[in-house]
Amino acid sequence: MSAAKTPVIDVHCHLTPQCFQRAVLAGDLWHGMSPADGELSNLKNRWLPDRRIEEMDALGIDMQLVSSTDVFFQYEREASVTAAIARDCNDELAELVRAHPDRFMGIGTLPMQDTKLAVAELERAMGELGLKGMMVNDHVNGLTYDHESFRDLWAAADELGAFVLFHQFHPTTVAYRTMSYFLFNSVGNLVDRTLTFGALVYGGVVDDFPNIKFCFAHAGGYIPYALDRMDKGWEKFEDSRGRTLGPPSSYANRFYYDTVVFKDTHLRFLVDMVGADRMVFGTDWPAPMDVDDPVRRIENTPVLADAERAAILGGTTATIFG
């Protein structure tokens, strides 16, 4: 176990399912998906659990909360196909957890374009399979999560006390302006997370469903930097306040945020804006945009106090997952 007093749990890490890999590497399609999906050029995505655990040990990570790679969202497909993809992905995650319960937990993927199917798969994933919640895109074919069509899903997630991780997939908002220079991810990713915050806050979702543990990947994107301007707009334009009960900044500490930022200045700013008790350790492993040496980075950074370090490495996740 790492130097932290409580286990270090990485809440933001991914898996490309072996059931997909076996099919496409044998020359077949998998629910219509091909070898071009799944990021197989990144050899870490091909690792089996034992090799994955070796890497966790080297990094000082005690447990991973694993989610399927974001390409498996597949919201644009026929809902029944996406439901089959989600079921297979979630079954494999559950198998990983059963085989290594002291090293892995899982959050599922859902057919979000069909709320009835999404609710059924969430209930199966958290009930029969023992997963902890779900990872979802920032939008579903352009719809944001304040839309009425998602109310039944949020109600089910609230009843189950689900952990919900927001993580982008293409197209991000920026993609409508440019696909050049990797901006669809390096910028669009962060814009999308900020728009999701706005939808959940102004749309009343976070007030209506207080038992959901909403978490923003990639440290919440631009959320902490946008709050002052959002507050100014809230103050000056009363008819644009939606269903908020206070200014947007008053909601910032109602969410969780992972630690996937790359500069100490940004890490410190996020702590100052939302508090270390709302921050959870994350790496984005095994993506190319993951954080280098992530545990020791938190342990050794001079911008955190010891109590903040303890909260980020283990204390906050302990309050979420017990």
pLDDT tens per residue, range 141-165? 999 999 999 999 999 999 999 999 9
Q: Is the pLDDT of residue 70 over 60?
A: yes
Residue 230 CA neighbour count, 13 Å, CB half: 23
Q: Is the pLDDT of residue 1 over 90?
A: no
Taking the mean position of all CA atoms in its chain, how far away is CA 264?
21
Chain mean pLDDT for the chain: 96
What pLDDT score does 304 carry? 98
Q: Residue 48 phi/psi, 5° resolution?
A: -85, 165
Beta bridge pairs of residue 140:
143
* Mean pLDDT value of segment 111-134: 98
Which residues are within 8 A (CB) of 56 and not within 5 positions of it... i.e. 6 or more apart? 10, 62, 64, 103
Burial call 81-110: b when 16+ CB within 10 Å, e when fewer: ebbbbbbbbbbbbbbbbeeeeebbbbbbbb
Q: Is the pLDDT of residue 34 over 50?
A: yes
Counting other chains too, the contacts that 119-123 makes at CB distance below 8 Å and 24 or more residues apart are 119/152, 119/153, 119/156, 121/83, 121/86, 121/87, 121/90, 122/153, 122/156, 122/157, 122/160, 122/162, 123/156, 123/160
Distance CA 295, CA 218 (A): 16
Q: Is the pLDDT of residue 2 over 50?
A: no
Describe the crossing of helices 223-236 and 264-274 by its angle, rounded to 10 degrees: 40
Distance CA 35, CA 316 (A): 38
What pLDDT score does 290 carry? 97
Distance CA 68, CA 308 (A): 29
What pLDDT score does 259 carry? 98
What pLDDT score does 4 carry? 41
For residue range 222-252, list pLDDT tens digits in order: 999 999 999 999 999 999 999 999 999 999 9
What pLDDT score does 178 carry? 87
Closest CA to 167 of 129, 138, 134, 127: 138
Describe the crossing of helices 79-99 and 18-25 by its angle, rounded to 10 degrees: 120
* Mean pLDDT value of segment 16-31: 97
For residue range 171-210, list pLDDT tens digits in order: 999 988 888 999 999 999 999 999 999 999 999 999 999 9
* Mean pLDDT value of segment 27-40: 95
Which residues are within 8 A (CB) of 269 and not within 5 positions of it... i.e. 6 or more apart? 224, 225
Closest CA to 202 of 143, 172, 238, 245: 245
